[in-house]
């Protein structure tokens, strides 16, 4: 009985939302005006914002591609991929005539590889079942197109078809959380429902696409996760998070400096504006805000699940032919992590396994699974230990190389492939570089070629930050090669599945 009662209580509690977390009509009007004005003057020049012509179907295709690419990936990284994609497949029809292999090649390095596959599936569906016409409403887009969720559907519908529907992505969540002091875990259903309600309430009915982009742009460039630029924010006057911090930092109880204490205290109505009147409100922070964090108290980060740890032995098998070397690559299964991508022979191994056992296991795989004979192995050595981050897995690669001196047909003959044998092939260096290969394997190849993992120039991406963060651990591989096998270097890269 007790259990049942508490369950009923928690359901009713999940509906409690204090009024300070919503916008009044007057605020909405002002917010729209300010944001659109700011967006018109400050929006970044992005290729998908320059689509010419009145063809909404074509515009929807371009927005669809850009939105899918921008999921979990920084805009700066996406631009080159987007341009390459649109050059190769300028229309949805041209995309529908391509193969999954071509799509993987263009997508290689962008991460979350199933996104490209979904785009191709969507293009085929539109061509074959929808008469070449992309659905014109968010509801139909979400219903009919594979890989199109509520956010992407809202973005395509508002930007391409002018539907007055809101969008909620990571940037919008942050902006709304700060504007309305929403500090509860944003991954909860209740908070996400509140976010969607707010986004739909404030979207401008005349310029929904621009308004949605202005919210996302503000989150990406001004109201950033770290060090938001509140002083230049066009909607600062509507921001409750900054008002709250302003109030708290004038409170003698927070022991702040004299100069701040000398400022006049907030008026009563201003304080009411930042204090939630609802008992048990499920959108509020679950405790007092940390004044050291300032507005960054919002949104509250959900507790991250610990990353799954995996260790993989990776072997770069090179066969030296009379003209040039070739490398053995294996295709991953069509589903799951890095679906359909090519990689060097790779097997999961247990933690703490000895180098000898690791080699034996790799031999078993090369012989038993890929049917190689390994008759003419000339050199074999361990190169480095290589840590590669996925969104949910920390994968440690033990990277080794094996050189096979081989006349045609000798040394690594393969018996007839059975159905269980993974698809594998020998490729030249240039073919490898143009193949659908994951970032982790590209980095492994760089390490093999004696090149240290380098950061990209320009704006720091999360990827480069991670690489920079571990820069101390990155030594030139050349120095490693002169040392004994046991001495390994450790490298860090990042990618999404």
Residues that bind ligand SF4 (CB under 6 A): 175, 178-179, 222-223, 228, 230, 233, 235-236, 239, 241-242, 295
Q: Closest distance between ligand SF4 and the C-beta of residue 233, in Å?
A: 3
Pairing of strands 325-331, 424-428: antiparallel
Helix (H, G, I), strand (E, B), or coil: what is residue 110?
A: coil
Do β-strands 346-349 and 377-389 pair in parallel, antiparallel, or remain unpaired?
unpaired
Q: To the nearest whole angstrom, how small is the minimum distance from the Cβ of residue 153 to ligand SF4? A: 26
Q: Is 379 helix (H, G, I), strand (E, B) or coil?
A: strand
- What's the CA gap between 120 and 447, in Å, rounded? 33
- Structure tokens that stand for 456 in this block: 């990209």
Least distance to ligand SF4, CB of residue 182, Å: 12
Q: Computed from CA positions of residues 426, 429, 435, 437, in that sequence, does the dihedral angle turn out positive or negative?
A: positive
Beta bridge partners of 382: 400
C-beta of 225: minimal distance to ligand SF4 in Å? 10
Q: Is 67 a catalytic residue?
A: yes
Nearest distance, CB of residue 219 and ligand SF4, angstroms: 8
Q: How many CB atoms lie within 10 A of CB 174?
A: 23
What's the distance, CA 304 to chain centroid? 15
C-beta of residue 135 within 8 angstroms of C-beta of residue 144: yes
User: Cβ closer to ligand SF4: 222 or 404?
Assistant: 222
Of residues 99 and 226, the one with the C-beta less far from ligand SF4: 226
Reading the block at residue 215, the tokens are: 């919210």
Residue 447 CB, shortest distance to ligand SF4, in Å, is 41
Identity of the residue, 167 or 233, whose beta carbon is nearer to ligand SF4 in the bound complex:
233
Q: How far apart are CA 465 and CA 275, in angstroms?
A: 38
Closer by beta carbon to ligand SF4, 41 or else 472: 41
Q: Of residues 54, 67, 93, 102, which has the active-site annotation?
A: 67
Helix axes 208-221, 189-202, angle to 10 degrees: 120
Q: What is the nearest approach in angstroms of ligand SF4 to the Cβ of residue 171? A: 11
Which residue in this structure is represented by tokens 């999921």? 71
Name the CA radius of gyration of the chain, rounded. Answer: 27
What are the residues whose beta carbons fall under 8 Å from the beta carbon of 373, sequence distance 6 or more? Answer: 367, 411, 412, 413
CA 27 to each of CA 31, 35, 45, 424: distance values in angstroms, whole numbers, following the listed order:
6, 12, 29, 61
> Which residues does 14 contact at the CB level (< 8 Å), separation at least 6?
189, 190, 282
Q: Which is nearer to ligand SF4, 119 or 223 (CB)?
A: 223
| Cβ(160)–Cβ(141) below 8 Å | no
* Least spacing, CB of residue 13 vs ligand SF4, in Å: 28
Pick the closest to residue 238 from 33, 60, 386, 425 (CA basis). 33
Closest to 165 measured CA to CA, from 140, 146, 183: 140
Q: Toward ligand SF4, which CB reaches closer, 209 or 219?
A: 219
Query: Between residues 34 and 88, which has the closer beta carbon with respect to ligand SF4?
Result: 34
- Taking a C-beta distance cutoff of 8 angstroms, is the pair 412, 424 a contact? no
Task: Using the minimum distance from each CB to ligand SF4, give the nearer residue, 191 or 218.
Answer: 218
Residues with catalytic annotation? 67
């Amino acid at each position: 009985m007790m259990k049942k009662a508490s369950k009923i209580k928690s359901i009713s509690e999940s509906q409690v939302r204090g009024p300070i977390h919503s916008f009044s009509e007057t605020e909405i009007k002002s917010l729209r005006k300010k944001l659109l004005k700011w967006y018109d003057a400050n929006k970044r020049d992005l290729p998908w914002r320059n689509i010419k012509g009145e063809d909404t179907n074509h515009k929807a295709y371009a927005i669809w591609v850009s939105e899918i690419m921008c999921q979990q990936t920084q805009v700066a990284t996406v631009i080159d991929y987007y341009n390459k994609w649109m050059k190769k497949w300028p229309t949805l029809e041209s995309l529908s005539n391509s193969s999954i292999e071509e799509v993987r090649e263009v997508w290689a390095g962008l991460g979350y590889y199933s996104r490209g596959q979904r785009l191709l599936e969507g293009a085929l569906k539109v061509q074959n079942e929808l008469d070449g016409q992309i659905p014109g409403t968010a509801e139909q887009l979400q219903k009919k197109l594979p890989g199109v969720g509520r956010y992407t559907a809202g973005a395509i519908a508002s930007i391409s078809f002018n539907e007055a529907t809101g969008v909620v992505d990571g940037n919008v969540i942050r902006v709304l959380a700060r504007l309305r002091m929403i500090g509860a875990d944003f991954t909860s259903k209740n908070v996400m429902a509140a976010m969607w309600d707010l986004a739909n309430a404030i979207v401008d009915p005349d310029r929904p696409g621009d308004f949605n982009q202005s919210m996302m742009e503000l989150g990406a460039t001004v109201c950033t996760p770290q060090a938001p630029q509140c002083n230049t924010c066009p909607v600062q006057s509507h921001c409750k998070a900054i008002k709250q911090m302003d109030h708290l930092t004038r409170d003698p109880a927070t022991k702040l400096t004299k100069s701040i204490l000398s400022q006049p205290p907030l008026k009563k109505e201003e304080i009411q504006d930042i204090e939630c009147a609802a008992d048990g409100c499920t959108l509020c922070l679950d405790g007092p805000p940390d004044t050291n964090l300032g507005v960054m108290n919002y949104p509250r980060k959900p507790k991250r699940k610990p990353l799954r740890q995996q260790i993989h032995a990776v072997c770069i098998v090179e066969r030296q032919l009379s003209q040039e070397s070739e490398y053995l690559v294996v295709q991953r299964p069509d589903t799951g992590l890095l679906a359909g991508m090519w990689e060097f022979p790779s097997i999961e191994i247990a933690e703490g396994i000895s180098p000898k056992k690791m080699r034996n296991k790799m031999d078993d795989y090369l012989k038993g699974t890929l049917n190689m004979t390994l008759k003419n192995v000339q050199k074999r050595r361990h190169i480095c230990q290589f840590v590669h981050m996925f969104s949910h897995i920390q994968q440690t690669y033990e990277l080794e190389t094996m050189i096979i001196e081989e006349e045609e047909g000798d040394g690594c003959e393969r018996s007839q492939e059975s159905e269980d044998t993974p698809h594998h092939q020998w490729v030249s260096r240039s073919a490898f570089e143009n193949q659908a290969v994951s970032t982790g394997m590209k980095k492994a190849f760089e390490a093999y070629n004696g090149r240290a993992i380098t950061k990209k120039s320009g704006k720091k991406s999360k990827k480069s930050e991670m690489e920079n963060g571990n820069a101390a651990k990155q030594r030139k591989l050349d120095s490693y090669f002169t040392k004994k096998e046991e001495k390994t270097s450790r490298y860090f890269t990042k990618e999404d599945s």
